[in-house]
A and B are shown apart, each in its own frame.
Chain A
Amino acid sequence: MAVNFGSKRIVVGAHYGLRDWLAQRVTAVLMALFTLVLLAQVILFQGPIGYDKWAGIFSAQWMKALTFSVIVALLYHAWVGIRDIWMDYIKPVSVRLSLQVFSIVWLVSCAGWAIQVLWRL
Chain B
Amino acid sequence: MSELASSSRAKRPEFRNIHALSDLPTYRLPPAGWVSILHRISGAILFLLMPFIVWMFDTSLSSEFSFAKFTSAFSNGVGFVPGWFFKLVALAILWAYLHHFIAGVRHLWMDINHAVSKEFGRSSAIVTLSLSLGLTVVLGAKLFGLY
Contact = CB atoms under 8 A, between A and B. Distances in A.
Interface of A: 25, 28-29, 32, 35, 50-51, 54-55, 58, 78, 81-82, 85, 103, 106-107, 109-110, 113-114, 117, 120-121
Interface stretch (B2-10, B28-36, B49-57, B120-128): B49-57
A121 B62 contact: yes
Contacts of A110: 50-51, 53-54
Interface of A is mostly: helix
A29 B108 contact: yes
Interface of B: 40, 43-44, 46-47, 50-51, 53-54, 57-58, 60-62, 64, 67-68, 101, 104-105, 107-108, 111
A117 B61 contact: yes
B67 A54 contact: yes
Nearest to B68: A51
7 contacts: A54-B61, A55-B61, A55-B67, A81-B43, A82-B44, A85-B40, A106-B50
Contacts of A51: 60, 64, 67-68
Contact of A28 (B53, B54, B62, B108): B108
B62 A117 contact: yes
B61 A32 contact: no
A28 B105 CA distance: 9
A107 B50 contact: yes
